[in-house]
Amino acid sequence: NAGVTQTPKFQVLKTGQSMTLQCAQDMNHEYMSWYRQDPGMGLRLIHYSVGAGITDQGEVPNGYNVSRSTTEDFPLRLLSAAPSQTSVYFCASSFGTGETGNEKLFFGSGTQLSVL
Protein backbone atom coordinates (compact mmCIF):
# COMPACT_ATOMS: atom_id res chain seq x y z
CA ASN A 1 0.00 0.00 0.00
CA ALA A 2 1.97 3.01 -1.31
CA GLY A 3 -0.61 5.69 -0.36
CA VAL A 4 -0.36 8.85 -2.50
CA THR A 5 2.49 8.86 -5.02
CA GLN A 6 3.63 12.02 -6.77
CA THR A 7 6.09 12.26 -9.65
CA PRO A 8 8.45 13.89 -10.34
CA LYS A 9 9.94 15.04 -7.01
CA PHE A 10 11.80 17.94 -8.61
CA GLN A 11 11.32 19.78 -11.91
CA VAL A 12 12.82 22.85 -13.54
CA LEU A 13 10.93 24.46 -16.41
CA LYS A 14 11.47 27.44 -18.65
CA THR A 15 8.78 30.06 -18.96
CA GLY A 16 6.18 28.97 -21.48
CA GLN A 17 6.86 25.24 -21.24
CA SER A 18 4.08 22.85 -20.36
CA MET A 19 4.20 19.80 -18.14
CA THR A 20 2.07 17.37 -16.17
CA LEU A 21 2.51 16.56 -12.50
CA GLN A 22 1.40 13.02 -11.80
CA CYS A 23 -0.56 11.85 -8.77
CA ALA A 24 -1.78 8.33 -8.05
CA GLN A 25 -3.39 6.78 -4.97
CA ASP A 26 -4.03 3.13 -4.20
CA MET A 27 -6.53 3.57 -1.34
CA ASN A 28 -9.65 3.72 -3.53
CA HIS A 29 -10.34 7.28 -2.37
CA GLU A 30 -13.05 9.20 -4.18
CA TYR A 31 -11.79 12.65 -3.21
CA MET A 32 -8.51 13.98 -4.62
CA SER A 33 -7.06 17.47 -4.66
CA TRP A 34 -4.05 19.56 -5.61
CA TYR A 35 -2.48 22.21 -3.37
CA ARG A 36 0.42 24.54 -3.80
CA GLN A 37 2.55 25.62 -0.83
CA ASP A 38 4.39 28.93 -0.85
CA PRO A 39 6.32 30.57 2.02
CA GLY A 40 3.97 32.62 4.20
CA MET A 41 0.92 31.53 2.20
CA GLY A 42 0.26 28.06 3.53
CA LEU A 43 -1.45 25.46 1.37
CA ARG A 44 -3.80 26.82 -1.26
CA LEU A 45 -6.29 24.62 -3.09
CA ILE A 46 -5.87 24.57 -6.88
CA HIS A 47 -8.38 21.97 -8.11
CA TYR A 48 -10.23 19.05 -6.61
CA SER A 49 -12.28 16.03 -7.67
CA VAL A 50 -14.99 14.12 -5.84
CA GLY A 51 -14.89 11.16 -8.20
CA ALA A 52 -13.95 9.97 -11.68
CA GLY A 53 -15.20 12.41 -14.30
CA ILE A 54 -15.90 15.20 -11.77
CA THR A 55 -13.55 18.12 -11.14
CA ASP A 56 -13.93 21.62 -9.76
CA GLN A 57 -11.87 24.72 -9.10
CA GLY A 58 -10.31 25.70 -5.80
CA GLU A 59 -8.86 29.04 -4.64
CA VAL A 60 -6.09 29.44 -7.25
CA PRO A 61 -7.05 27.53 -10.45
CA ASN A 62 -5.70 29.89 -13.11
CA GLY A 63 -2.96 28.42 -15.27
CA TYR A 64 -3.74 24.82 -14.25
CA ASN A 65 -5.91 22.07 -15.73
CA VAL A 66 -6.97 18.75 -14.27
CA SER A 67 -8.89 15.68 -15.36
CA ARG A 68 -10.00 12.54 -13.54
CA SER A 69 -10.51 9.60 -15.86
CA THR A 70 -9.93 6.96 -13.18
CA THR A 71 -10.36 6.78 -9.41
CA GLU A 72 -6.62 6.27 -8.95
CA ASP A 73 -5.11 9.11 -10.98
CA PHE A 74 -5.43 12.89 -10.82
CA PRO A 75 -2.81 14.65 -12.99
CA LEU A 76 -2.21 18.41 -12.84
CA ARG A 77 -1.29 20.16 -16.08
CA LEU A 78 0.56 23.44 -16.37
CA LEU A 79 -0.32 24.77 -19.81
CA SER A 80 2.28 27.55 -20.12
CA ALA A 81 4.54 27.76 -17.09
CA ALA A 82 5.19 31.15 -15.47
CA PRO A 83 7.69 32.12 -12.74
CA SER A 84 4.70 32.77 -10.42
CA GLN A 85 4.03 29.01 -10.53
CA THR A 86 7.32 28.25 -8.79
CA SER A 87 6.14 26.39 -5.71
CA VAL A 88 5.88 23.04 -3.96
CA TYR A 89 2.86 21.09 -5.18
CA PHE A 90 1.04 18.53 -3.05
CA CYS A 91 -1.56 16.04 -4.11
CA ALA A 92 -3.95 14.77 -1.44
CA SER A 93 -6.75 12.24 -1.24
CA SER A 94 -9.36 11.19 1.28
CA PHE A 95 -12.11 8.61 1.68
CA GLY A 96 -14.69 11.38 1.92
CA THR A 97 -17.15 12.46 -0.70
CA GLY A 98 -18.12 15.97 -1.62
CA GLU A 99 -20.34 16.07 1.46
CA THR A 100 -18.35 14.65 4.33
CA GLY A 101 -15.28 12.81 5.52
CA ASN A 102 -12.62 14.97 3.98
CA GLU A 103 -11.08 15.97 7.28
CA LYS A 104 -8.36 13.35 7.00
CA LEU A 105 -6.37 14.17 3.92
CA PHE A 106 -3.54 11.86 2.89
CA PHE A 107 -0.78 13.86 1.22
CA GLY A 108 1.92 12.85 -1.20
CA SER A 109 5.53 13.87 -0.60
CA GLY A 110 5.34 16.83 -2.97
CA THR A 111 6.84 18.10 -6.22
CA GLN A 112 9.23 21.03 -6.05
CA LEU A 113 8.79 23.05 -9.25
CA SER A 114 10.97 25.93 -10.38
CA VAL A 115 10.04 28.04 -13.41
CA LEU A 116 12.87 30.15 -14.79
Partner 1 sequence: QKEVEQDPGPLSVPEGAIVSLNCTYSNSAFQYFMWYRQYSRKGPELLMYTYSSGNKEDGRFTAQVDKSSKYISLFIRDSQPSDSATYLCAMREYSSASKIIFGSGTRLSIRP
- Contact between 24 and partner 1 (CB under 8 A)? no
- Contact between 114 and partner 1 (CB under 8 A)? no
- Contact between 27 and partner 1 (CB under 8 A)? no
Q: Which of 92, 93, 113, 115 binds partner 1 (CB under 8 A)?
A: 92
Contact, 73 vs 62, CB < 8 A?
A: no
Alpha helices by DSSP H, 20-99 = none
Burial of residue 33, with CB atoms counted within 10 A of its CB: 0-12 exposed, 13-18 middle, 19 or more buried: buried
- Contact between 41 and partner 1 (CB under 8 A)? yes
- Contact between 7 and partner 1 (CB under 8 A)? no
Q: How far is the CB of 15 from partner 1 (least distance, A)?
A: 26
Q: How far apart are CA 24 and CA 65, in angstroms?
A: 16
CA distances to 13, 22, 90, 96 from 106, in Å: 27, 16, 10, 11
Residues that bind partner 1 (CB under 8 A): 4, 31, 33, 35, 40-45, 48, 50, 56, 58-59, 90, 92, 96-105, 107-110
